[in-house]
Amino acid sequence: MPDILQIGTGLMELAGGIANAEDKMKLSQAAMALNELASENKRLMDENASLRIELDRRKDLEYVGGCYYLTGKDGEMIGALCPGCYKESGFIYLLGKANGGARCSVCGKTYYGAKPAVGGYRQMVI
């Protein structure tokens, strides 16, 4: 696939060699439109990459008893994540121990009945 920016630059150079002002203007407008499309294409590609990362991250989440849990490679549930922070910012913060539940160190909310992170896992952003 040819580089859109190079094509746009080539069109601008071609416009410089055209004597007819009307044709030169049309070619310049086409080059500008092509550059705008290239910018939009770049934005969409970046957004697509970001959404793919989010989708991959969600594959490691399991919804159990009203809470999302991060699962390890062997399927072990590592711990609950803060649903409030996840919903608001998209970041995954594992919940730490609290009396009768699990607590988020970022927003401070305690979720009773949720199981905090196990083993050597600490609160973290993934």
Residue-wise burial string across 11-36, b where 16 or more C-beta atoms lie within 10 A, e elsewhere: bbeebeeeeeeeeeeebbebbeebbe
The per-residue pLDDT for 25 is: 80
Q: Is residue 44's pLDDT more than 90?
A: yes
**Residue pLDDT, tens place only, 85-115:** 888 887 888 888 888 788 888 899 988 888 8
**Residue 121 pLDDT:** 47
What mean pLDDT is predicted for residues 29-42?
87
**What is the spatial distance between Cα 124 and Cα 117, in angstroms, rounded to a whole number?**
10
61 token code pair? 């989440």
